[in-house]
Amino acid sequence: MKKVEAINFLYVLVLSTTVFLIFTYKELTETKSPGGRMRLLWNWRSVQESYHLAVYPCIESFRVRAHLPVIYVVTPTYPRPTQIPELVRLAQTLMTVPNLFWIVAEDAPILNPRVASYLDGTGICHAYLAAPMPESYRGELKTPRGVSNRRAGMDWIRKHVTEGVMYFADDDNTYHLDVFEEMRWTKKVSMWPVGLVTHLGVSSPVVIDGRVIGFYDGWIEGRKFPVDMAGFAVGIPFFLSKVDAEMPYRAGFEEDGFLRSLEISVDDVEPKADNCTKIYVWHTRTQKATPAPKIATNITHFTDSNLSALEKELFLETSESAFH
């Protein structure tokens, strides 16, 4: 009897050790790839906090190029038919820039799984945040577009980042790769020209002998810094030192309000792009597209065709359940 008990005990011991080893192995292999592990955690958080983070392709590459400051690109975006094409175009620029972290902030109460999965597929290290414009501004004649999104991006940076550079890149502009290398070593605030802004065709700091002495812009309107959102970058340590810096919900005055809140003078501005003689970013605007109508899949030769799959591409799914 004693012998049978001992064998049973041994049997249970071997079984539980095997189970324990399998779990530990899984845990260890996940921990070895830091991104994979973090991703699991953050996916859970995405449902809890409207927040989604994909880091694994990048942690290693940031380490390899540790001498290069990381550029944190904050992109406001919002649901509309041209959203994915805009993000594709921008992503295909950003994916070639080393040491870049993309913060995509969506003007919507919850994340869109289609956008999340597109972003994951780019391999770009990114955080995807839901940051809806407060309802009180929605009805206004001129709404402060992209402000709640940029503010959410800045909050994220304040919580998670200590080094690097911050840049606000709207989803519909055109970016030459050189603009990122120009901004990478920004100390306080760097600036450069932006093409296709107002009737003047360009908005730029005015530079004499390597110093900014004023601004050329088609819409001055009492602004101390009459510049476009795409025309400046901010050093993150400097930004963090200005604890009250914030972007106002004031259409047309977002850039000026934010730059004033950094408490800089025109003299502090670091001119880039060969003393503002080159254009590396353009304020292009995409023509609005009307939402596609439902495809009439009841028409005989449409039934069982590709069209029902295509329809899924046309309509943005927003249910949280698609995250699971």
What's the CA gap between 209 and 45, in Å, rounded? 51
- Least spacing, CB of residue 38 vs ligand UGA, in Å: 27
- Which among 23-31, 76-84, 115-123, 200-208 is the span making contact with ligand UGA, rule CB under 6 A? 76-84
Whole-angstrom distance, CA of residue 164 vs CA of residue 70: 5
The verdict on 228 binding ligand UGA (CB under 6 A) reads: yes
Q: Does 145 bind ligand UGA (CB under 6 A)?
A: yes
Among 107, 182, 256, 270, binds ligand UGA (CB under 6 A): 107
Question: Looking at the annotation, which residues are catalytic?
Answer: 255
Nearest residue to 296 (alpha-carbon basis) of 308, 313, 287, 284: 308
Choice from 149, 186, 190, 203 touching ligand UGA (CB under 6 A): 149
Whichever of 55 and 189 has its CB closer to ligand UGA, that residue is 189
- Which one of residues 26, 65, 285, 312 is an interface residue with ligand UGA (CB under 6 A)? 285
Establish if 171 lies at the interface with Mn ion (CB under 5 A). Answer: no
Sheet holding 100-106: strands in order across?
51-54, 126-130, 100-106, 71-77, 165-168, 232-235, 189-191, 270-271
Q: Cβ of residue 230: shortest distance to ligand UGA, in angstroms?
A: 6
One character per residue 16-55, x = contact with ligand UGA (rule: CB under 6 A): ----------------------------------------
Q: Is 172 in the site for Mn ion (CB under 5 A)?
A: yes
Question: What does the alpha-carbon distance between residue 278 and residue 120 come to, in Å, rounded to a whole number?
Answer: 33
CB of 135 vs ligand UGA, minimal distance in Å:
12
CB crowding 38-65: b at 16 or more within 10 Å, else e: bbeebbeebeeebbbbbbbebeeebeee
Whether residue 284 is annotated as binding a ligand: the answer is yes
Tell me: is residue 285 an annotated ligand-binding position. yes
Half-sphere exposure of residue 193, counting CA atoms within 13 Å on the CB side? 19
Burial of 174 (0-12, 13-18, 19+ CB in 10 A): middle
Binding site for ligand UGA (CB under 6 A): 76-78, 107, 144-146, 149, 170-172, 228-229, 251-252, 254, 283, 285
